[in-house]
Amino acid sequence: MKVFKISRVGQIKTRREINLSKTIGILGGMGPSATVDLFNKIISNTPAISDQDHLHIIINNNPKIPPRMNALNPGSESPLPELIKGAQILQKAGADFIIMPCNTAHIWYQEISDSITIPFYNMITNAVDHTLNQINGSNSTVLLLATHTTIHTRLYQKAFQETAVTLIIPSHTEQIMVNEAISSVKGGLLKTNPYLKAFNKMLDDYANQGVMHILGGCSELPLLFPFLNEKIDKLDPTLMLAQLAVSKGL
């Protein structure tokens, strides 16, 4: 545990005890399991030996936010009004900064950020920074696994521009399978996900081609990592976001 101050009576006080830690706001519900995953990873990555050493976290878990995957289709309802409302609720509730465990929703990152006056940390750019550090000196080819909307809007492709990483994008057929696997996770299917066999076959094929890293660019995908090919390195933006939140909160 880090020591920051010693009281007059010689008692060691943590940063938490002298009220220097910050309150994390999580703009969640997209989906609920992904939000729980982020929360768990923040707890697991917080250096704590007591309840009081953990960070104050406010979670706005709103699963009623309109779907992000089809939001750009003509006639679809935009999630932006609810995303802005959710961020403003977190700010009013006392959050010092906000994180959002939904990759696709970062399409509207700037609009959400502009609607509040507290920092809103970007999951995409954070994942890129962590990835560059994590695979330093190793094979720089990474298979991007994400929703079709995240891939279509090039959120990760733009963020990785002018870096040493080469992103591989799944074929059209593979992407359909990835979308269905994501939807099955949202339906609560992990170990029994009906697309696991096809998913692992796809990863085997890429591994045989020399692709040794996958980036879980949808927050449902890290929930499947325990059931995926062990030979391939799994890059988890949710874990990376949790580590960022802990570093900013302490």
Mean pLDDT over each residue of the chain, to the nearest integer:
92
Question: pLDDT tens digits, residue range 32-79?
Answer: 999 999 999 999 999 999 999 999 999 999 999 999 988 899 999 999
Q: What are the angstrom distances between the C-alpha of 88 and each of 57, 81, 103, 228?
A: 15, 11, 19, 37
For CA atoms 60, 66, 67, 72, the dihedral sign is: negative
Which pLDDT band, with edges at 50, 70 and 90, does 219 fall under?
A: very high
User: Has residue 204 got a pLDDT over 60?
Assistant: yes
Q: Which residues are catalytic?
A: 102, 218
Is the distance from CB of 100 to CB of 123 less than 8 angstroms? yes
pTM of the model: 0.91
Q: Could you give the domains of the chain?
A: 5-122+240-249 (3.40.50.1860), 124-237 (3.40.50.1860)
Is the distance from CB of 155 to CB of 106 less than 8 angstroms? yes
User: Has residue 9 got a pLDDT over 70?
Assistant: no
pLDDT at 122: 98
Q: What are the angstrom distances between the C-alpha of 185 and each of 39, 179, 216?
A: 17, 10, 13
Question: pLDDT tens digits, residue range 133-163?
Answer: 998 866 689 999 999 999 999 999 999 999 9
Q: What are the angstrom distances between the C-alpha of 233 and each of 65, 68, 79, 126, 151?
A: 32, 27, 33, 18, 20
For the residues of the chain, what is the DSSP string, one character each? Answer: ----EE-TTS-EE-TTTTT----EEEEE-SSHHHHHHHHHHHHHTS--SSGGGSPPEEEEE-TTSPPSTTTTSTTPPPSHHHHHHHHHHHHHHT-SEEE---SGGGGGHHHHHHT-SS-B--HHHHHHHHHHHHTTTS--EEEEE--HHHHHTTHHHHHTTTSS-EEE---HHHHHHHHHHHHHHHTT-STT-TTHHHHHHHHHHHHHTT--EEEE-STTGGGGGGGS-TTSEEE-HHHHHHHHHHHHH-
| Residue 225 or residue 137, greater confidence | 225
| Of residues 185, 178, 110, 188, the one with CA closest to residue 149 | 178
